[in-house]
Amino acid sequence: MKLSQLKSLLSEHSDLYFRLKLPGGGAVPLSFHITEVGHVRKRFIDCGGTLRETECCLLQVWVGEDYQHRIETGKMAGILEKGSEVAGDDSLPVEVEYEDGVISQYTIEGHEVTDEAVVLNLAHKHTECLAPELCGLPSIDRLPSVGGASCCGPSGCC
């Protein structure tokens, strides 16, 4: 989900609660806080030697001991507004960082609107080989490269 889509969803349903559903059907406890709105830019070299770049708006979720805390969609919209200077571009995909034993980062694969809440459905992020042709793997959809081709040549992965 893009940041612009999330903002639109929140404004369309400004009187409901805001919830997060984990992969597998569990949920982030109702008393969560959004403690950060960030703009994350990652530049890296893939295993084929291609320079790549990704960006996202990252929402950090934290569960404290104030179990009566609840975020409404209007408040969540306000949090995003406060973070807009940092988040920047509304076309960025939104990801959620949440700690449940380990810190995990999730994509948003969809949403549901119930009588009482807007629920974001989170999905696991996965690693993958971004130079499958050099590693002898089947072709996959890859991240866009940042100028230039692979440096590894026919010898395989770096």
DSSP assignment of 64-128 equals -S-TT---BHHHHHHHHHHTHHHH--TTSBEEEEEESSSEEEEEEEEEEE-SSEEEEEEEE----
Global pTM value: 0.84
Assess whether pLDDT exceeds 50 at residue 149: no
What's residue 147's pLDDT? 55
Task: Classify residue 58: in a domain, yes or no.
Answer: yes
Per the structure, the complete domain to which residue 114 belongs is given by: 3-149
Q: How confident is the model at residue 148 (pLDDT cuts 50, 70, 90)?
A: very low
Task: Classify residue 158: in a domain, yes or no.
Answer: no
* Among 115, 106, 153, 136, CA closest to 13: 115
Task: Classify residue 11: in a domain, yes or no.
Answer: yes
* Among 67, 1, 85, CA closest to 29: 67
CB 121 within 8 A of CB 108: yes
Assess whether pLDDT exceeds 50 at residue 10: yes
- Summarize pLDDT for 42-82 with one digit per residue, the tens: 999 999 999 999 999 999 999 988 888 899 999 999 999 99
Task: Classify residue 83: in a domain, yes or no.
Answer: yes
CA-CA distance, 32 to 50, in Å (whole number)? 39
Task: Classify residue 154: in a domain, yes or no.
Answer: no
* Number of domains, the chain: 1
